[in-house]
Amino acid sequence: MCEEDKIKAGILFCPGDPELRALKLKTHNLNVDYNATYEDETEKRAAILQQMLGELGEGSFLQGPIYFHYGIHTRIGKRFFGNFNLTIEDDAEVTIGDDCNFGPNVTIVTPLHPLVATERNFLLNAQGERRRFCYAKPVHIGNRCWFGASVTVCPGVTIGDNCVIGAGSVVTRDIPANSLAVGVPCRVLRAITEADSMRCQPDILADNRVPEEEP
């Protein structure tokens, strides 16, 4: 079994494997290329993202700077907005649904390391050779989610559709759909309901209006 297959299987893999290092090097260099572009160099930016990511839906915008680890393990839906300093350490798969919006400094991580210090330094592979190992758990984010500034999503987390995650939250466990969740560790504060509609805040809504149906 190759190291890439081990990642998908959720078992220990060697991040120093030459094939994995080559994948990461390519993506790290593409990060640098993207971050050196101007915001209005749309064609150049699109070409870099096409080389880097597993999937990026139409109408998506990544403000930059961006920091992807593998890139190819990340799939992002349509009309995504990622603000400054989006970091996705996608050793395992990361999926982000349609119409998601991320504030600045959002971080998604998938890798995990042994807790025992000596085991972090090295373990023995099947041939008895000393190697550094880690493992990874995928992160899945639904449609129409909003993440405030400096949200961190930890390995193995699934966040349902229509969630709002408050600024500075560290998400360590699954969040059900239609939830407002905040804190360190992040916990569900309450469900998002019709009472949260801008219709209920006419002083802020001003002369704008909420459509009767979603477009």
Residues belonging to the active site: 113
Token pair 């500034």 in the structure block, residue: 149
Burial readout 86-103 (b: 16 or more C-beta within 10 A, e: otherwise) = bbbbbbbbbbbbbbbbbb
Closest CA to 115 of 103, 133, 140, 100: 133
What residue spans of the chain are helical by DSSP H?
Answer: 3-9, 18-35, 42-52, 117-121, 202-205
Closest CA to 96 of 136, 68, 123, 129: 68
Residue 4: φ, ψ to 5°: -60, -40
